[in-house]
Structure 1
């Protein structure tokens, strides 16, 4: 009987530990550590770590995640030496501490200390349990699990981020920012001691409610640090004299719409941005102050980007996120809106590289029709002959359409899309000439990013919202074209010697106004920053009287002044933009658009401007309109200087530069074709007839629907013509009118469909159909 008993004992001592280990493994699998959360607390922070906006978890708790390196060593010293001196040595529980705490509790008849290690406190934070014997066993089990699965550094990091600090605050990071207004990395000795003791009784020791209690608890920690020789006695003495001073308790409330934008694109609990917190605060205050000047239900958006790094430094998506009457929850930085005229600098820059124009090229600001599309200018007038620089500065529409027509709207949209500016068009439609005047949709952030090409030597870069984002850029235009466009927008279109040309470019800016006054834009480039401004109604309702120059530029100037208010040292470090070697000064002549010698009769007006690669393309023709092409006319003259046919005796060949025909009404009589071309010889006249200025009908558009004013029985419609030759004959629904002059006033009193037609002496016809309701 003894032999089997001996074997049973041996079997027991072999199998029992194995069963125990298997039981531990099974328990670990059945009740794993609850380390993850379904909806964790998240925070978005500025570049310097300042919390911008927090997103609480399902229990309303918010945290500011930190690592051991993000926290002051003073805090770690106070925490470990006050709470758990043997933290780095024990296996999760400290039997001596538990026995000591139990003895103190029995002798005093009350709970004096709990004997819990930091690991046990983390276990209770991860898996809350009742303060019973069974709860204590559960806590010990969780503590052992923590030590088994995690390192000491990981356990301590969990404590730093889960310890309660009163109210909805958890973690030393959130407590430091809310109570002290600073990063936990920069705590003083007194502040470190205060934050080390608060989790012992967060509700009873809250320094914003009970500063005396908090200070007494803090002093207890400071004295313990002196007793244990952790800190110098003199340092502790000085810290004891410090009162508990707190900043105004305030939850993070900056950049809410940017924070929402980033949180929807990231799973991180702490999202670090490139935002400059003080600047963001100034911009939001400016937006609130500006709100009173906006029309009802209108909002605004502001974007500030450092174009040297493409870091977004300020992002304001609405005038006031709490103002629902202004759709404050809608982020207008990322909303798709009609860009108005802010695309014009791009088409001129690309056309410079393509050799279509130069900055002093002669463009035509005259009425034109492109199929059913008949654009006009913002001021409803036309200015005749203008240079590219003047057309850009004055934001004239017809010259921009003329250049886009030559460059190609599809090609233009593709170039912008290649660098990240994805223009949106209605379904089943393609880019057309209207896109240069806002006939598409664009986002403010993408527009501002594309404008970086003018500050980054022709390379457009994507915005960087987070420090770890790489700098991505693509070429859009040459460095020379970008430099010229930026100087024109900055008011420096006239060439200057390098000695007097400012190396630091002043504010360059462009405005835009969408159709119906729905959107007002201003985009600026100062020596360091890109500034994007939008104002309007988020619901796309027209706002009468709202336009880029009047509504957006004043706000742009305020933001620019805010950014320029820097020290003299910072001003001295502003980026410079020297003239590229490909850009030179030159003089060209109108109407030909090229350099001519002094005294040349074909130089009717001499202009100076910047040239790219010394390119002097001839005056750009306006396509698709009869009689518009050809500013250089070949004529044959006889010995008397009269025009003759090429095969006439003694005929000599001559080239005469003529102004484009559509410009005739804006030219002095001496510059018009009738005065510039020699008289025709009666003996041997040329075979071809002279071209005439195209006839255009002004005052009504094709397909227009007109309405009489309330209470009026009739409508007076005033019509006029542009161009043409000689007398005019007018017809209404085929019936001739008595007037033979440039304009006519129609008194219409019967609703219905009408056709008005005008005929000139050259046989040209202009007509329009319209409806009167």
Structure 2
């Protein structure tokens, strides 16, 4: 009894061990070979792919297999596939008989399930291995469905050369997706795993054709196809040399490679949000412009297009794809590359200043020669307007007004705003950039820039959707692959930029003349309304154009990846034409809705653009951001006293109050007036004082344009080695007045009408005194650097 019990227990234990061994004999993951990185367009078509790390073209396992391939491979390899449990006893019996008769291996009798096991194990083909494959094939059938098994086979079978899997084979041999292959093409691929060496350029084509045709006849016999289809399929050519795979978005593919771990995506294949048709058109547009620009040694160009509604990337061209010309650095993804933004941040400053109550849309901003702590910005045209409306300064991309605005707003505040908006390349303290921040003194990526503008567009678009509230998620970066996106609904009352400031900014950005159209585009109803901004970096190294509508954001960069500057590499000439060619490929849509509840109607001085003060006479009602109520009142309209004829200014010392005319007058500071009246013929200068009237120092009759009070200047050497000179420049309200110049209390010269003076003072601190013929004085100090100390 005890002996029988022992035998029973040992038998059970052996059975349990064998059962456990059977159950755990199959690895949790059959195939561990590296796969190619594959990126598909939103419609599922292949955009780009790269070879796997082991040198094989092996796509990740597909979700489904074309029915044609299933029919072909089952007919060719395992016609009772759906009726066995891993081993086909009839096929094995037939194989044994054939092998014994031939005294060698002429038939294997392996089922598709057994072949999947063999492909996953890569062991030598012996009798014992064959038996083990049968056991594992049975285990495979218990774990996987028939569809999953045939999918595993199609994804991992060898198709000749370094091609593994049906999908890779379809693209390498036919240049198309497997779903589009004909019966003849699919039959050709179906016979390859059995004899992968048959695909060899210029060889074995006759044997391959015979095998394919035999399979087509078998398909007819099994009634998968009719005889006519088989006959026509036999006329099709077989593949020769493998074809290159599409490379329509290679830089996005590389981005996916680099970010896959961070994105926590397990597979090496993604279906992107890229619009294939648009991507191909954009590639063509950029190729055309690149061919033109390369004549000027401008070798690289990139663009990014975002769909605002979905918050996704619909076109991603990081550079012109030129793998055969590595010296052009076309492999560099310029969408991710930090570059100087030129003037493309100016709209963000304009919006920020309105949002925070510093300016109104048309507030006058100084545009005069400026030196701030040794920094002297220049306008692109090297001219000055004296004063210009903030929106016009933005549309004309004037540098000095932008610097003056940033000086008022404070670069530290703007620096913090940019970081919150998503500009992630500001890795130095704010003081490192200073006022140059607004003129491209920092670096940005096209990715951050486009996403920041998309956040602004989304915020404005959602004005009605969120009932005037704000969703911080609007500023989240765009996605470039399809995902189950969930949007947080944590609405807030305040935002980085309010609806009204964004709306006013986009309106200002729309008022720019488009390149090549000479303004005539406004006459065509088919033209899109586009808010846009260009930018050019210092040294002509980067040309930018960013444009937006309620539906799309388009960003274009032109330049050299190695940073080499080129003459003519400016935003308006190189990047803007590309931008508008791209917009012609995008559907037209409505313009932004006016966020009326976020705008307030106030009285604004027409001439100055400021909130109207008591002395403003020409008023307009204007819708401005609510924060506009906090802005200063007009500082340029002042009450002056004229004689009874209105020809002279007077005081109560020379004219009775009863005889005076009291009139509001638009008065700019002398330096601003000096340039403003040149470009504004309707500007009225102040009348002179009546003889015998004391000015009493009123109205600042003189102003030093250069150098400013407290400035530090450096006098370089001339070409002949002699010490150079600095040119002092002053403005006087009375153009015919004389100015007597004194340096360190010593008289130097007299100027009339045109008040400029070239001097060469020694290094050190100097006092400059200006006296006009009426005794008005202006005293300022400046410091001249010593060359040796500067070094």
TM-score range, shorter chain: 0.7 to 0.9
Equivalent runs, 1:646-725 vs 2, <5 Å: 656-661=664-669, 662-668=671-677, 675=686, 682=693, 689-697=698-706, 702-704=712-714, 706-709=716-719, 712-714=720-722, 716-717=724-725, 719-723=727-731
- Compute the displacement of 1:56 (Å): 3.0
Please name the residue that 2:573 is paired with. 550
Query: Please, which of 501, 509, 526 is the counterpart of residue 489 of structure 1?
Result: 509
Structure 1 position 160 matched with structure 2 position 174: no
Structure 1 position 229 matched with structure 2 position 239: no
Q: Secondary structure at the match of 1:706?
A: coil
Task: State the TM-score, normalized to the length of structure 2.
Answer: 0.80
- Compute the displacement of 1:22 (Å): 0.6
Write out per-residue CA displacement over residues 42-79 of structure 1, whole angstroms, 9 at most, x where no aligned residue: 3223323333333333431122234343x322222322
Q: Secondary structure at the match of 1:200?
A: coil
Q: Name the count of aligned residue pairs.
A: 735
On the 8 A contact 2:355/2:498 being kept in 1, the answer is yes
- Compute the displacement of 1:507 (Å): 3.9
Please name the residue that 1:310 is paired with. 311
1: CA distance, partners of 2:497 / 2:742: 50
- Compute the displacement of 1:543 (Å): 4.1
2: CA distance, partners of 1:637 / 1:731: 33
- Compute the displacement of 1:34 (Å): 6.2
Equivalent runs, 1:332-731 vs 2, <5 Å: 332-427=334-429, 429=431, 432-453=434-455, 455-456=457-458, 458=460, 460=475, 462-468=477-483, 470=485, 477-491=497-511, 505-525=528-548, 528-561=551-584, 563=585, 571=587, 574-577=588-591, 579-580=593-594, 582=596, 589-593=605-609, 611-612=623-624, 630-634=635-639, 643-644=650-651, 656-661=664-669, 662-668=671-677, 675=686, 682=693, 689-697=698-706, 702-704=712-714, 706-709=716-719, 712-714=720-722, 716-717=724-725, 719-723=727-731, 727-728=738-739
1: CA distance, partners of 2:660 / 2:744: 50
Cα 1:769–1:548 change in 2 (3 A) is: farther
Equivalent runs, 1:733-748 vs 2, <5 Å: 737-738=748-749, 740=751, 742-745=755-758
2: CA distance, partners of 1:348 / 1:560: 25
Please name the residue that 2:41 is paired with. 46
Q: Secondary structure at the match of 1:535?
A: strand
Structure 2: 5+ residue stretches without partners:
261-265, 461-473, 514-521, 772-776
Structure 1 position 274 matched with structure 2 position 285: no
Task: State the TM-score, normalized to the length of structure 1.
Answer: 0.81
Q: Secondary structure at the match of 1:675?
A: coil
On the 8 A contact 2:116/2:153 being kept in 1, the answer is yes
1: CA distance, partners of 2:408 / 2:203: 72
Relative to structure 2, which stretch is displaced further, 483-492 or 189-198? 483-492
- Compute the displacement of 1:339 (Å): 1.0
Relative to structure 2, which stretch is displaced further, 503-512 or 386-395? 503-512
2: CA distance, partners of 1:250 / 1:209: 20
Structure 1 position 184 matched with structure 2 position 178: yes
Cα 1:675–1:238 change in 2 (3 A) is: same
Please name the residue that 1:626 is paired with. none
2: CA distance, partners of 1:575 / 1:247: 47
Q: State the Cα RMSD in Å.
A: 4.4
On the 8 A contact 2:306/2:454 being kept in 1, the answer is no
Cα 1:327–1:240 change in 2 (3 A) is: closer
- Compute the displacement of 1:356 (Å): 3.9
Relative to structure 2, which stretch is displaced further, 663-672 or 759-768? 663-672
- Compute the displacement of 1:580 (Å): 1.8
Cα 1:378–1:109 change in 2 (3 A) is: same
- Compute the displacement of 1:92 (Å): 2.0
On the 8 A contact 2:37/2:268 being kept in 1, the answer is yes
Cα 1:48–1:432 change in 2 (3 A) is: same
1: CA distance, partners of 2:656 / 2:357: 38
Cα 1:250–1:208 change in 2 (3 A) is: farther
On the 8 A contact 1:658/1:676 being kept in 2, the answer is no
Please name the residue that 1:263 is paired with. 257
Write out per-residue CA displacement over residues 72-126 of structure 1, whole angstroms, 9 at most, x where no aligned residue: 2222232234322333343322222111111123334554432111111111111
Please name the residue that 1:169 is paired with. 163
- Compute the displacement of 1:445 (Å): 1.0
Write out per-residue CA displacement over residues 704-740 of structure 1, whole angstroms, 9 at most, x where no aligned residue: 473543xx23355461414357545557799764464
Cα 1:753–1:766 change in 2 (3 A) is: closer
